């Protein structure tokens, strides 16, 4: 990969003198969906696929970006002076947002950059190509300009820029998983206070399979923001009867006791998902510590049902992938992962059933929705690095 981006850099910008190459991973979330902006727990892991950048400082204040994933857009130019979101900046609004967020913290770039990017995360798959790009940008800015920030800061800066520069009200999970990834471990993160622990995700005799529906409904960004405001409103209503800071503070019993404070049936279901999903995530990590992979799988399945029925962020294509996965005896658990309305499912599949899984789920998906699914047997990798 390093050679590939360097070769492209030379082709686009003339030579590779003083060029550095960096990588930041994508992520998959095993369980704990739509809990990260509700003060709950999440359980993501970094992947070995992600985004690569070849970067060189310039003598002036020009920014020149080129993506091997969007070659027809060519080189997109701007400047480090007065950085603001612009429609014509297209995908470069993500790295520019990070630069803007650094500036907000008092870290100023002293020169422009030439950047060539290549991502091997499938676009629109819900495996966090945007967070990977944000963390990557933060990582190379820190390295090139000596900014004094930690990897947790890189996650927070990435989230801040996506919320405030790109207008997507995401929680902290995606950026945290990318910035803090650790090989063969998932991250049990309490999003209320950013306390976390690494939990080994060593699945003896089983693999993590990500299935890409190759569908991304337009709903994902707008509905994501709607879900977030529904949960905020439900939280306000609950706070009139119980002293909590987030939905993640409630047990299932407490929720059932106080839910009548929520004055709208839809908001009750949204809040119920946030509360129950948080408790499922806590139990799932406990199950893993006890080597009870079967229980972990059951909790994954229950997570999907809740996301489908209470949170309503699934869609027909994803439901088909999950239903077909559940039919296969070697599947321990399967669920939607990511923001929803398309994207991917994540499944834990016994080694001997992986080929059958791909074959049968793929064929049924083709037959039932007329589309082709892609399958990735993924490996859990480390966080960002300079190559």
Q: Where are the beta strands (DSSP E) in the chain?
A: 20-29, 41-42, 44-57, 62-67, 76-79, 113-119, 185-190, 195-200, 206-216, 331-337, 342-350, 374-378, 385-386
pLDDT number for residue 221? 72
Q: Tell me if 346 sits within 8 A of 334, measured CB to CB.
A: yes
The pTM of this model reads: 0.89
122 DSSP assignment: P
Please report the pLDDT score of residue 127 as a whole number. Answer: 76
pLDDT tens column, 259-273: 999 999 999 999 999
Query: SS3 of 240, please?
Result: coil
pLDDT for 168 equals: 82
Domain definitions of the chain by residue range:
2-200
Alpha-carbon Rg for the chain, nearest whole angstrom, is 21
Q: According to the model, what pLDDT value does residue 220 have?
A: 62
Query: Which CATH architecture is the domain 2-200 placed in?
Result: 2-Layer Sandwich (3.30)
pLDDT at 40: 95
Per-residue pLDDT of the chain (387 residues; tens, 9 = 90+): 999 999 999 999 999 999 999 999 999 999 999 998 999 999 999 999 999 999 999 999 999 999 999 999 999 999 999 899 998 899 999 999 999 999 999 999 999 999 999 999 876 666 778 899 999 999 999 999 999 999 999 999 999 999 999 888 788 989 999 999 999 899 999 999 999 999 988 888 999 999 999 988 666 677 888 999 999 999 999 999 999 999 999 999 999 999 999 999 999 999 999 999 999 999 999 999 898 999 999 999 999 999 999 999 999 999 999 999 999 999 999 999 988 888 899 999 999 999 999 999 999 999 999 999 999 998 899 999 999
Of 373, 269, 271, give the one whose Cα is nearest residue 322.
373
The answer to whether residue 174 is catalytic is: yes
Catalytic residue among 114, 174, 249, 310: 174
How much is the pLDDT for 74?
A: 96
Sorted by sequence, the CB contacts under 8 Å of residue 344 that are 6+ apart come out as 28, 125, 126, 127, 210, 211, 212, 213, 336, 337, 338
Q: What is the pLDDT of residue 351?
A: 95
Q: For position 300, what pLDDT does the model report? A: 97
The pLDDT score that the predictor gives to residue 294 is 93
What pLDDT, on the 0 to 100 scale, is given for residue 216?
80
How many whole angstroms separate alpha carbon 259 and alpha carbon 357?
40
CA 341, 181, 170, 269 dihedral sign is positive
Task: Say what the pLDDT of residue 317 is.
Answer: 96
Query: How many alpha carbons fall within 13 Å on the CB side of residue 365?
Result: 27
Query: Taking each helix axis from N to C terminus, what angle separates 151-164 and 93-104, rounded to the nearest 10 degrees?
Result: 110
pLDDT given at position 60 = 96
């Amino acid at each position: 990969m390093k050679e590939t981006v360097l070769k492209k850099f030379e082709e686009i910008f003339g030579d590779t003198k003083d060029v550095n190459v960096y990588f930041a991973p994508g992520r998959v979330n095993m369980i704990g969906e739509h809990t990260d902006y509700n003060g709950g727990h999440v359980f993501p892991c970094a992947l070995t696929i992600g985004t690569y950048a070849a970067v060189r400082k310039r003598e002036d204040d020009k920014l020149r970006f080129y993506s091997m994933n969007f070659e027809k857009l060519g080189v997109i130019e701007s400047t480090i002076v007065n950085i603001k979101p612009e429609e014509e900046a297209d995908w470069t609004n993500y790295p520019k947002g990070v630069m803007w967020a650094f500036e907000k913290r008092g870290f100023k770039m002293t020169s422009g950059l030439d950047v060539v990017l290549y991502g091997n995360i499938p676009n629109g798959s819900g495996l966090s190509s945007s967070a990977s790009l944000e963390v990557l940008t933060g990582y190379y800015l820190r390295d090139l300009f000596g900014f004094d920030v930690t990897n947790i800061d890189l996650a927070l800066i990435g989230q801040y820029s996506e919320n405030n520069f790109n207008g997507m009200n995401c929680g902290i999970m995606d950026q945290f998983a990318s910035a803090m990834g650790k090989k063969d471990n998932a991250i049990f993160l309490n999003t209320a206070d950013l306390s976390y622990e690494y939990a080994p995700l060593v699945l003896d005799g089983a693999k993590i399979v990500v299935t890409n529906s190759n569908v991304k409904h337009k709903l994902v960004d707008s509905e994501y923001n709607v879900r977030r405001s529904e949960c905020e409103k439900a939280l306000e209503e609950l706070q009139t009867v119980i002293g909590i800071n987030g939905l993640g503070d409630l047990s299932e019993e407490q929720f059932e006791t106080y839910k009548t404070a929520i004055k709208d049936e839809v908001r009750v279901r949204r809040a119920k998902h946030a509360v129950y999903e948080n408790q499922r995530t806590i139990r799932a990590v406990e199950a893993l510590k006890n080597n009870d992979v079967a229980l972990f799988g059951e909790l994954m399945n229950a997570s999907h049902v809740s996301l489908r029925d209470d949170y309503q962020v699934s869609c027909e294509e994803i439901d088909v992938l999950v239903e077909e996965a559940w039919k296969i005896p070697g599947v321990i658990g399967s669920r939607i992962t990511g923001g929803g309305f398309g994207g991917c499912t994540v499944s834990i599949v016994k080694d001997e059933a992986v080929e059958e899984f791909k074959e049968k789920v793929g064929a049924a998906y083709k037959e039932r929705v007329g589309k082709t699914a892609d399958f990735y047997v993924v490996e859990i990798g480390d966080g960002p690095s300079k190559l």
